[in-house]
Amino acid sequence: MIGASYLRRELVKCSDIILIVSVAETRDISLETVTMSTERKVDLTYEDILGLKTQRAIVLVDVRDHNEIQETGKLPDSIHIPLPELSQALQLPPEEFQKKYDGAELPLKSAPLVFSCRSGNRSRRAMNAALELGFAESRHYIGGFLDWQAKTGKK
């Protein structure tokens, strides 16, 4: 919860005089309930991912560890960059990135990156790391690989 201050103006009629009164209010609000119509959605669902993949409107990055990828495979059409390597990877020269990450192209800072992990925790950290590096269109898949498996029935 955070305290949010509001200033509202009210017209008050007193006899033949109309006063404009400014009233300040403070209310506790939850950050989870605050949304602005101009904000884009950063917590993406399975359905969001499918729609964006169909439009080829995202660069999907799987940030799980190597052993997790060996056990289950990565999300289809994703680039695998383990979370501990992410910040360094996004700062590599393009040719070095391509060599290290199976021929994938280094995303531009304007690229619509979507990070995924097992369940959504590491992907949020990855999104925040990318945002700090200037990748302003970074988002994450809140359900992660577990949600993907549940929705697709693939193991």
The CATH number for 104's domain is 3.40.250.10
* Residue corresponding to tokens 């949600």: 147
- Please report the beta strands in 40-151, taking only residues with DSSP state E, as ranges in sequence order: 43-44, 59-62, 79-80, 113-116, 139-141
- The count of structural domains within the chain is 2
pLDDT band at 44, cuts 50/70/90?
very high
Residues 112 and 139 in one domain: yes
| 29-33, 39-43, 86-90, 92-96: least confident range | 29-33
Residues 26 and 83 in one domain: no
DSSP state of 85: G
Residues 94 and 48 in one domain: yes
> Is residue 71, in this structure, part of any structural domain at all?
yes
Please pick, among 58, 90, 117, 127, the residue that the annotation labels catalytic.
117
Residues 14 and 52 in one domain: no
Tell me which of 34 and 111 has the higher pLDDT.
111
Residues 51 and 28 in one domain: no
pTM: 0.73
* Residue corresponding to tokens 């990450």: 101
Check if 14 is active-site: no
> Is residue 38, in this structure, part of any structural domain at all?
no
Mean pLDDT value across residues 119-146: 96
Residues 20 and 49 in one domain: no
Of 75, 154, 85, residue with least CA distance to 117: 75
Q: What is the domain extent for residue 141?
A: 43-152
Residues 10 and 53 in one domain: no
